[in-house]
Chain A
Amino acid sequence: MLAYIARRIVYVIPIVISVALVCFLLVHITPGDPLVAVLPADASQELAAQLRVAYGFDRPLPVQFGLWLWKAVNGDLGHSIATGRPVLTEVMRAVGNTVTLAIAAAMIGFSLGLFFGLIAGYFRDTWIDKVATSVAIAGVSVPHYWLGMVLVIIFSVQLNWLPAVGAGPGGSGSWGWDWEHIRYLILPAITTSVIPMGIVTRTVRALTGDILSQDFVEALRAKGLRETHVFRHVIKNAAPTAMAVMGLQLGYMLGGSILIETVFSWPGSGLLLNSAIFQRDLPLLQGTILVLALFFVFLNLMVDIAQAAIDPRIKRS
């Protein structure tokens, strides 16, 4: 097991460096001078040249990347152009809110997905299966930002039950797990949960169907095992794959929250990314994407290790 973990970690290192390279290069594919955002419109040639030296833009690209990477490893992602605060501080504060949203959405989406997937797989080709698969396909096909709008129309505009935007009564300040705050979480969490719900349902349905058609299930039943025991075997066999899919979905929720956070003005990493893009705050853009991508890589690593830990078949291969 330890050897497996060590091998996976070694394999992740080149990925992490390449991810950093992609984030670094993002700024250099932007049209125009990377200085445009910091430079006043009427800046003289000399000032531009001075700033270019000050920001290190005069050096060759590989040197710039090396310096940037070294700073990033030491926790320095530069300063936001818009606010002047360190990028890492801004990103970590926002990521906290995104994690809150993702966890709430995961609880809704995964439990519904597991439930629908299991009953659909168990009662294949009955009306239960048809209903569950329809819900799942709607979940993966719906433009979630639109669903968010529709939920706001119904529950905020028409019924006036839940707030439409924000993350708490006192602005985006501090989050707490009380009803006053949770009210703000309900609509964005439901909206975020539909895609994972659909994907988990489809995965678990296919897995359950597959496992139930295998010979060993026949053998268990022939042995006289009660259906609840058979069910336990199904769960055991489906768990590794289902868990991997759920881990990946959690990563997508953390990294792909920009559309939903924009709809609900949820003060997370997605909204931060949105403002970084439109204020052309390149250090903030670069830093947010780097942190989110590293989260995703780390989560994938954890999923792989956890999967190997509960599934003895993986370590052998």
Chain B
Amino acid sequence: MNISPTSVISDAALQAGPAAKARGYWATVGRRIVRDKVSMVCACILLAIFLSALCAPWLGLADPYQGSMIRRLRHIGTPNYPLGSDELGRDMLARLIYGGRLSLVIGILPVIFAFIVGTSLGLVAGYVGGKINTAIMRTVDVFYAFPSVLLAIAISGALGAGIVNSIVSLTIVFVPQITRVAESVTTGVRNMDFVEAARASGAGAFTIMRVHMLGNVLGPIFVYATGLISVSMILAAGLSFLGLGTKPPEPEWGLMLNTLRTAIYINPWVAALPGVMIFAVSICFNLLSDGLRSAMDIRN
């Protein structure tokens, strides 16, 4: 977010005038969210998880693939194994940190893809209206007739296990939801005066959608999409947990939870660790999304 440059410029340029007036909408939202303690703590936790996953090879961790038959299922706090070892004797700390790479990718990518596709579909449906709206929205209704977990599992069950298939199936689950939100927001903006003015001055449909409407509808859709990341993380890991996503020996939180399930009688707390990571990421995204929503609700 471009909070600081904007506020610096506005402060410098308008020192004489009241600062509050000069600040744009997004700058105000940015300031509000930075002041929200819960959101900032969540953002820091997420940033730490992201960075450690990204920089995993340079953190001096053990090899996440290197197992040892004589060092299986060590307890948390064992020397050289700060978080214990898994059922094949691999270092849990390394696998949890490396696991963030795949887990975050398969959890977040579907929402990004669905955001792009769903926003485009919703924008077109809402702006063009008529038969195109009916066609798009009735198709969306069909997908609403399936509980989302069932739809995700049905599609990836039919497509077969694999990372790409799991991303595809989750994208299909989220596109209808985002399309619905985008369509209703667009319909609300479509008849406003500034759109009317753009139309009167001869702008084409594509230009109006891209230049005049996108900026006005993107905010609410974005907030909705950030709220979906939490669901997506849980579902993506869930697919791997069922054996429909990542394949062994890749470190991924859902799959780790699955393979460690047999170890709950020997070393229960090590077996539960991957779930803690999923929980942490999911709850942070949820709280951050809530914070963003209330920060964007400037009227209150």
Q: Which residues of A contact B (CB under 8 A)?
A: 14-15, 18-19, 22-23, 26-27, 29-31, 137-138, 140-147, 149-150, 152-153, 157-158, 251-252, 254-256, 258-259, 262-263, 273-274, 276-278, 285, 289, 292-293, 296-297, 300
Chain B residues with CB under 8 Å of A15's CB are: 141-142, 145
Query: Are B275's CB and A146's CB within 8 A?
Result: yes
Residues of B within 8 Å of A152, CB to CB, are 264
Instruction: Report whether A255 and B160 are in contact in the complex, using a CB–CB cutoff of 8 Å.
Output: no
Q: How many A-B residue pairs have CB under 8 A?
A: 129
**Is residue B279 contacting chain A, with contact meaning CB distance below 8 A?**
yes
Interface residues of B (CB under 8 A from A): 138, 141-143, 145-150, 153-155, 157-160, 230, 234, 237-238, 241-244, 257, 261, 264-265, 268-269, 271-272, 274-275, 278-279, 282-283, 286-287, 290
- Write out the residue numbers on chain A whose beta carbons fall within 8 Å of the beta carbon of B264: 149, 152-153, 157
A313–B290 alpha-carbon span in the complex (Å): 30
Contact A149 B149 (CB under 8 A): no
Which residues of the partner chain A approach B153 to less than 8 Å between Cβ atoms?
258, 273, 277
The answer on a CB contact under 8 Å between A256 and B145 is: no
Say whether chain B's binding surface is mostly helix, strand, loop, or mixed: helix
Cα of A132 to Cα of B86 in the assembled complex, Å: 36
Q: Are A30 and B159 in contact (CB under 8 A)?
A: yes
A208 shortest CB reach to chain B, Å: 17
Which of A137, A259, A297, A300 sits near B283, CB closer than 8 Å? A137
Show 25 residue pairs from A and B whose CB-CB distance is below 8 angstroms, ordered by the A residue: A15-B141, A18-B142, A22-B143, A26-B155, A27-B158, A29-B155, A30-B158, A31-B160, A141-B230, A142-B282, A142-B283, A143-B238, A145-B238, A145-B257, A149-B264, A149-B271, A150-B275, A153-B264, A153-B272, A256-B150, A258-B242, A262-B241, A296-B147, A296-B150, A300-B145
The answer on a CB contact under 8 Å between A274 and B145 is: no
Given contacts A259-B241, A273-B157, contact A157 B265 (CB under 8 A): yes
What is the bound-complex CA distance between A23 and B265, given in angstroms?
Answer: 39
Is the CB–CB distance between B286 and A146 below 8 Å? no
- The one of B138, B278, B286 that contacts A143, using a Cβ cutoff of 8 Å: B278
Q: How far is the CA of A180 from the CA of B268 in the complex (A)?
A: 26
A213 CB to nearest chain B CB (Å): 11
Give the nearest-CB partner of B276 in chain A.
Answer: A146
Residues of B within 8 A of A144 (CB): 234
Instruction: Determine the chain A residues whose CB is within 8 A of the CB of B148 once the complex forms.
Output: 252, 256
Q: Which of A146, A157, A158, A297 has the most chain B CB within a 10 Å cutoff?
A: A146
Q: A23-B154, A153-B268, A296-B145 are known; give 10 further A-B pairs, CB within 8 A.
A: A18-B142, A145-B238, A153-B269, A252-B147, A255-B147, A259-B238, A278-B243, A285-B157, A293-B145, A296-B147
- With contacts A141-B230, A262-B242 known, is A292 near B149, CB below 8 A? no
How far in angstroms is the closest Cβ of chain A from B124?
Answer: 21
Shortest Cβ distance from residue A150 to the other chain B in the assembled complex, whole angstroms = 6
B98 CB to closest chain A CB, in angstroms? 19
Interface centre among B149, B265, B269, B290 (most CB of A within 10 A): B149
Give the distance in Å from the alpha carbon of A134 to the alpha carbon of B80 in the complex. 36
Task: Pick from A18, A26, A30, A158: contact of B145, CB below 8 A.
Answer: A18
- Considering the complex of A and B, which 10 residue pairs feature the smallest CB-CB distances, nearest first? A146-B275, A256-B149, A255-B147, A141-B283, A277-B157, A153-B268, A18-B142, A255-B150, A141-B282, A26-B158
Pick from A14, A149, A258: contact of B257, CB under 8 Å: A149
In the bound assembly, the distance between CA atoms of A158 and B286 in angstroms comes to 32
Knowing A143-B237, A149-B271, A149-B272 are in contact, say whether A296-B146 is a contact too (CB < 8 A). yes
Q: Contact at A157–B150, with CB atoms within 8 Å? A: no
Whether the pair B286, A140 counts as a contact (CB closer than 8 A) is yes
Contact A19–B278 (Cβ < 8 Å): no
List A contacts of B290 (CB < 8 A). 137
Which residues on A sit within 8 Å (CB–CB) of B154? 23, 26, 285, 289
Interface centre among B158, B237, B243 (most CB of A within 10 A): B158
A residues within 8 A CB of B268? 153, 157-158
Q: Which among A145, A146, A263, A292 is the interface contact of B147 at CB below 8 angstroms?
A: A292
Contacts of A273 in B (CB 8 A): 153, 157
* Chain A residues near B149 (CB-CB < 8 A): 252, 255-256, 258-259
B154 to chain A, nearest CB (A): 5
Q: Which chain B residue has the least Cβ–Cβ distance from A285?
A: B157
**B143 CB contacts on chain A under 8 angstroms:** 22
- CB pair A251 B147 closer than 8 Å: yes
Q: Whole-angstrom distance between the alpha carbons of A256 and B235 in the complex?
A: 11
* Closest B residue to A28 using CB positions: B158
Are the C-beta atoms of A297 and B230 separated by less than 8 Å? no
In Å, the complex CA distance between A256 and B142 comes to 17
* Residue of chain A at shortest CB distance from B269: A153
The reply to whether B158 and A29 form a contact with Cβ atoms under 8 Å apart is yes
Least CB separation from A258: chain B residue: B153
Q: Nearest chain-B residue to A141 (Cβ)?
A: B283
Which residues of chain A are near B287, meaning CB under 8 Å? 137
Q: How far is the CB of B287 from chain A (nearest CB, A)?
A: 7
Per the bound structure, the CA–CA distance linking A77 and B132 in Å amounts to 35
Most buried by B among A29, A137, A150, A273: A150
